Amino acid sequence: MHIIKVRNLKKFYNTSEIQTIALNKLSFEVLEGEFVTIMGPSGCGKSTLLNILGLLDDCDNGSYLFNGIEVTNSKELERAEIRKHNIGFVFQNFNLITQLTVFENVELPLIYLGTKKTERKKKVEAVLEKMQIMHRAYHYPQQLSGGQQQRVAVARAVVNKPKLILADEPTGNLDSKNGNEVMELLTALNDQGTTIIMVTHSEHDAKFSHRIIRMSDGQKIIENNLV
Amino acid sequence: MVQNYFKIAWRNLLEQKGYSLLNIGGLATGMAIVILIGLWMYDELSYDMYFKNYDHIAQVMHHNNSNGQKNTVQDTPPVLAEAIRNSYGSDFKYVLQASFTEDFLLEFDNKKIRATGKYFEPEVTEMLSLQMIKGTRKGLMNPYSILLSESTAVMYFGNTDPIGKTMRFDNRWNIEVTGVYKDLPKNTSFSDLKVILPWQLFYQNHGWIQTTDNLWGGYFTLTYAQIADGANMGMVSERIKKVIYDNVNEGAKNSKPEVFLHPMKNWHLRSEFENGINTGGRIQYISLFGVIGFFILLLACINFMNLSTAQSEKRAMEVGVRKALGSIRKQLIEQFLTESIVIAMLALVVSLVIAQLCLPFFNEIADKELRILWLNPLFWGLLIVFAVLTGVLAGFYPAFFLSAFKTVEVLKGTLSIGSNAFVPRKILVVVQFTISIILIIGTLIVYSQIRFGKDRSVGYSRDGLITINATSEIQKHFESIRNELKSSGTIVEITQSSSPTTDVWLMSRGLDWRGKDPNLVVALPINGVTYEYGKTVNWELIQGRDFSRDFATDSTNAAIINETAAKFMGLTNPIGEVIRWGGQQKQYTIIGVIKDMIVESPFEPIRPVVFKIDKSANVVILKLAINQNIRSTLTQVEQIFRKYNPNYPFEYRFVDQDYALKFGSEERVGKLASGFSGMAIIISCLGLFGLASFVAQRRTKEIGIRKVLGASVPRLWGLLSKEFVSLVILSCLIAIPLAWYFMNDWLQNYTYRTTISFWIFASTILGVFLITVASTSYQAIKAARANPIKSLRTE
């Protein structure tokens, strides 16, 4: 079954005089359980696409079915609802909240889901164990190395067992050793059934995925199946 | 979830200590002022509520027509209460006659001290539901008795039981202490009722009353009443309307006296009447200070809004992440509101400390005995509601502003808080400074009006003038006292007068003169004086001559009038004209006209006054020889007075001090207003300081580039300060017309008023400009002096 199905997706950015086309009639699908990499030069629309897929941004035209449901015209409340139940985000710059500890950062999606405190504790501890960062649970993000921070970010993304993880250059700020560790984490999650869509510049990282969609000027130019 | 909000709020506070300090400090200052104003308003609004019968008590007052207008007075004939009781008894529980408040000379065991109080009919104890500590409420039934307030009892008797003890009153009467009551609180109209004497003693002590034929003709007492349970104040008031009119003689009926009940709830706050209509009074100050309190709180909240939104870039990432994780905007608004409520709660704690520390000064200025109601649960409840509302007021704008950030822009790092985002913040700064400038200008104009009143020529010389209450002994030995004082060289002159130079104690009706409109009912201040009055007060004769012993007729048939009286009587050549009083019985030839003397309010028109020779004076006025040491002069004067008036303590008042009291109300307003505007400007500057630091931070890179390109420190300082200075100038442009409008309106309350000077505006603008530059310069110079390489590298 397709978890994502986009048709003729269009997105413009308007500045005072110029209209820039970020996505130009883009169409593709992602199956449940797939690991897809999106690649392309800077400004080709990768991140825009990821944001639209994550329901953080709207498209101007086209159709987007998430899990079989049309979401292009859905309201903010519905989007937030879909996001918190189904989608996890991993960012290049980790985006951990500095005022919260590792534990509290990971706990946050569960709070928004309304999970009870005891259950939250169990789930957070389990995922931190899994990410091998439990020993840092009560530290603040700024006390952690980049690799550790990204592990926390991944933990936060998966703690509510989302169907889909969107990763925007997850290794971009990491050295190769830490980068590999993160990629292995993502692969492991994918092996357990989580769909992953990753944006990256790194051919090395892309090799961890099943399929690469290459983009240029807001359009898909080629698709490579790696499996 | 809420726990999470609190956690974030608390950690943010700790993380940004300087910002938290500014925010909490500013908010706490504003809240402290609101607490003080709130306590003051509560005190004012609950005035007299101490009395159980508050809703049923009234003062019996009356309107009358004289000098072509309707006047409202509290003075009543001494027989009014009895007449009302007789004719309208069923409408009332009590109608009681009382005297004006006096200083009674009381002696016990060689302790001779004055205590303020009134003569009152016995049921006053019931009407005012006095809490008797000793004795009973029936104490005043005995005509030679006295009730003492607790503090007065301690003053005379210490810890011994005063009941049954005999005190000497006015060196004439032995009276028995029959009761001690709990002192009445300061926020009651009877707070100065330290002793109560029986009404019968009033008659005894003022023998002349008993020989007066027409007691309906003399207005020298007060009348209080408590209406019957279930009676309607308005209806009862209407019923007794004609009680004076029906009893006075035909001549007095011309003034159409109209009795009415002035309810206790209006005594303090609505005491002013114009043309027979109640026009308010202190209630206007309640609204004024309420508005000022609100605006100061608003200033503090604006600080909070500005500082919170200014650091929005720091919070943006958090907003983006939370939204990405599924938070909806409502939850973010809740979170930011929780933060501001937490800050407001902390500010509340600090504000209570500030309020407690400021309370003694505030009480002194406001002449109050306010205290923080630490043990009152209602007070705490209100404080918490207040803090929550403040939190919401301060937090709603930042909450909406911050929660509106677009997730994508934040997470992409492309969030640019465009110049439009600064517009609301600039508006807030302009609002802040507009309010502060209005307060400053207002304060300056209040003081300018006080100065205007003080500088107005009083028409006599107050230098070295003192007033002493006259006694029968002083009257009897006046000539000897005068001779001794004069020969001692301690005084320039001494005189007796029926009123002090700073008040009118005697009014007279039924005056007549040639050319007077027969329908005009007049009531003029009459001042009975001795020959030396003019020399003592150094009045200025503009026509005719002064009183003189050389003219035998001066002692009985001469009058001196003031300029206003000459105008009022329509006399172009007043000298030689005759004023008749009491039909044709008494005739006074005008021998002189003096320049107007300010006796009452320095801001109101002067009333026509007639001076005549009369030795039955109420006060003695002395002009001290001021070229000598004032202390030793007074000691010598005292010795002479003690010799002739041994039974009374030597008590004097400087006319200067009495005169200064006339400005009390304006000075109080001036002091409070200056305090408030000072606070307002401090709060605004705190905000400006904080904002300047954020602007400097935001422009670090720009400053670095400019420096690399050759900009000098002063130039950069100018660049950074310019933004704020222009906002403050804009505030001045808005504030000046508003302040002019409000203050011009306020000045209309005074017949004699200052003109609003250009310099008030100019000096305010200059002052505010300097303060602005001072509060922004530290940050601007710091930013401008920073090493550009560092700032560029951090980018």
CA distance B354 to B416: 40
Closest CA to B96 of B208, B179, B200, B170: B200
B717 C-beta neighbours (distance < 10 Å), count: 20
pLDDT per residue as tens digits for the range B216-246: 988 899 999 999 999 999 999 999 999 999 9
CA distance B402 to A21: 29
| Residue A165 with chain B: CB contacts under 8 Å | none
- Element housing B306 (H / E): helix B283-310
Report which DSSP code applies to B192. Answer: T
CB contact under 8 A, A104 and B320: no
Q: Residue B327 is nearest to which of A56, A85, A112, comparing CB atoms?
A: A112
Q: How far is CA B314 from the centre of its chain?
A: 48
How far, CA to CA in Å, does B140 sit from each of B149, B157, B183, B299, B769?
14, 20, 17, 56, 66
Chain B residue with the nearest C-alpha to that of A46? B412
| Residue A85 with chain B: CB contacts under 8 Å | 326
Report yes or no: B529 and B496 within 8 Å, Cβ to Cβ. Answer: yes
Residue B271 has pLDDT above 70, yes or no: yes
CB contact under 8 A, B11 and A89: no
Q: How far is CA B464 from the centre of its chain?
A: 28
For B:559-588, CB contacts with A below 8 A are none
Residue with tokens 């000298």: B575
Within B132-213, residue ranges assigned H as helices are 150-157, 199-205, 207-210
Average pLDDT on B642-654 reads 91
CB contact under 8 A, B318 and A97: yes
Q: Residue A99 is nearest to which of B12, B329, B413, comparing CB atoms?
A: B12
Average pLDDT on B13-32 reads 87
Which phi-psi region, left, alpha or beta, contains residue B381 (left: φ > 0; alpha: ψ -120 to 50)?
alpha
- Element housing B325 (H / E): none
Pick from A94-108, A136-150, B221-235, B409-423: least confident: B409-423
CA distance B620 to B633: 17
Report yes or no: B269 and B40 within 8 Å, Cβ to Cβ. Answer: no
Residue A106: partners with Cβ closer than 8 Å, 6 or more residues away: A124, A127, A128, A152, A155, A156, A159
| Geometric angle at alpha carbon B446, from B758 and B743, rounded to 5° | 65
Closest CA to B101 of B127, B120, B123, B82: B120
| Residue A168 with chain B: CB contacts under 8 Å | 411
CB contact under 8 A, B326 and A112: yes
| Residue from A16, A93, A111 whose CB has the most chain B CBs within 10 Å, to mutate | A111
What angle in degrees, to the nearest 10, is found between the helix axes of B700-708 and B758-785? 80
Report the predicted TM-score, pTM, of the whole model to 2 decimal places.
0.81
> Phi and psi for B181 in degrees, rounded to 5?
-115, 160
Residue A135 has pLDDT above 90, yes or no: yes
CB contact under 8 A, A54 and B322: no
Long-range pairs of B656-659 with CB within 8 A, sequence gap ≥ 24: B656/B462, B656/B463, B656/B465, B658/B467, B658/B500, B658/B501, B658/B502, B658/B503, B659/B458, B659/B462, B659/B502
CB contact under 8 A, A93 and B326: no
B323 touches chain A (CB under 8 A): yes
CB contact under 8 A, B325 and A156: yes
CA distance B80 to B232: 20
CA distance B89 to B76: 18
CA distance B241 to B226: 16
| Residue A76 with chain B: CB contacts under 8 Å | 328-329
Q: Which tokens belong to B67?
A: 């000098």
pLDDT per residue as tens digits for the range B584-624: 678 999 999 999 999 888 888 889 999 999 877 889 999 99
CB contact under 8 A, A76 and B329: yes
pLDDT score, position B416: 61
Residue B582 has pLDDT above 80, yes or no: no
pLDDT score, position B419: 55
The β-bridge relationship of strands A2-14 and A19-31 is: antiparallel
Q: Confidence class of residue B418 from pLDDT cuts 50, 70 and 90?
A: low
| Residue A54 with chain B: CB contacts under 8 Å | 324
Measure B1 CA to nearest chain A CA, in Å.
Answer: 6
Q: Residue B328 is nearest to which of A76, A95, A96, comparing CB atoms?
A: A76
Chain A residue with the nearest C-alpha to that of B319? A97
How far, CA to CA in Å, does B274 sit from each of B72, B271, B278, B523, B601?
8, 10, 6, 17, 16
CB contact under 8 A, A108 and B325: yes
| Residue from B11, B17, B325 whose CB has the most chain A CBs within 10 Å, to mutate | B325
CA distance B180 to B183: 9
Residue with tokens 């700020």: A173
pLDDT score, position B421: 62
pLDDT score, position B413: 65
Q: How far is CA B279 from the centre of its chain?
A: 17
For B:388-447, CB contacts with A below 8 A are 407-408, 411-413
CA distance B140 to B200: 9
Chain A residue with the nearest C-alpha to that of B332? A112
CB contact under 8 A, B8 and A100: yes
Average pLDDT on A67-79 reads 88
Closest CA to B593 of B539, B524, B522, B535: B539
Residue B282 has pLDDT above 80, yes or no: yes
Q: How many CA atoms lie within 13 A of B479 on its CB side?
A: 1
Average pLDDT on B438-453 reads 89
| Residue from A78, A86, A91 whose CB has the most chain B CBs within 10 Å, to mutate | A91
pLDDT per residue as tens digits for the range B489-541: 899 999 999 999 998 888 887 788 988 888 888 888 999 999 999 999 999 99
3 state SS for B510-558: CEEECCCCCCCCCEEEEEEECCCHHHHHCCCEEEECCCCCCCCCHHHHE
Q: Which tokens belong to A3?
A: 């978890």
Measure A103 CA to nearest chain B CA, in Å.
Answer: 12
Q: Specify the amino acid at residue B255.
A: S
For A:28-87, CB contacts with B below 8 A are 47, 51, 54, 56-57, 76-77, 80-81, 83-85
Strand partners, B278: B273
> Phi and psi for B473 in degrees, rounded to 5?
-65, -45
| Residue B329 with chain A: CB contacts under 8 Å | 76
Closest CA to B29 of B293, B373, B398: B293
Q: Does residue B47 or residue B629 have the better pLDDT?
A: B47
Pick from A34-48, B310-324, B593-607, B740-754: least confident: B310-324
Residue B708 has pLDDT above 90, yes or no: no
pLDDT per residue as tens digits for the range B450-464: 888 888 888 999 989
B158 C-beta neighbours (distance < 10 Å), count: 10
CB contact under 8 A, B331 and A112: yes
Q: Which tokens belong to B403?
A: 């929660």
Radius of gyration of chain A (CA): 17
Chain A residue with the nearest C-alpha to that of B323? A80
Buried/exposed A98-113: b ≥16 CB within 10 Å, e otherwise: ebbbbbbbbbbbbbbe
CA distance B529 to B549: 13
CB contact under 8 A, A95 and B317: yes
Q: Confidence class of residue B795 from pLDDT cuts 50, 70 and 90?
A: very low
CB contact under 8 A, A111 and B322: no
Q: What is the ipTM of this complex?
A: 0.81
Report yes or no: A198 and A177 within 8 Å, Cβ to Cβ. Answer: no
pLDDT score, position B584: 62
CB contact under 8 A, A97 and B321: yes
Q: State what percent of residues in chain B have pLDDT above 70.
A: 97
- Residue B360: burial class (beta carbons within 10 Å; 0-12, 13-18, 19+): exposed
CA distance B294 to B782: 35
Residue B739 has pLDDT above 60, yes or no: yes
A97 touches chain B (CB under 8 A): yes
Residue B125 has pLDDT above 50, yes or no: yes
Report yes or no: B610 and B511 within 8 Å, Cβ to Cβ. Answer: yes
B314 touches chain A (CB under 8 A): no
Measure B7 CA to nearest chain A CA, in Å.
Answer: 8
Q: Which tokens belong to B91?
A: 């409408």
Q: Which tokens belong to B160?
A: 């011994």
Would you say how long chain B is, in residues?
795
pLDDT score, position B33: 92
Report which DSSP code applies to B281. Answer: S
Residue B181 has pLDDT above 80, yes or no: yes
| Residue from A56, A92, A169 whose CB has the most chain B CBs within 10 Å, to mutate | A56
B331 touches chain A (CB under 8 A): yes
Helix (H, G, I), strand (E, B) or coil at B395: helix
Residue with tokens 């000897």: B480
CB contact under 8 A, A57 and B408: yes
Q: Which tokens belong to B10?
A: 């608390």
Report yes or no: B353 and A184 within 8 Å, Cβ to Cβ. Answer: no
CB contact under 8 A, B412 and A47: yes
Q: Specify the amino acid at residue B278.
A: N
Measure A40 CA to nearest chain B CA, in Å.
Answer: 17
Average pLDDT on B696-716 reads 78
* Average pLDDT value for chain B: 88
Q: Kindly compute the dihedral angle of the four CA atoms of residues B306, B308, B314, B319, in this order, to the nearest 10 degrees.
A: -120
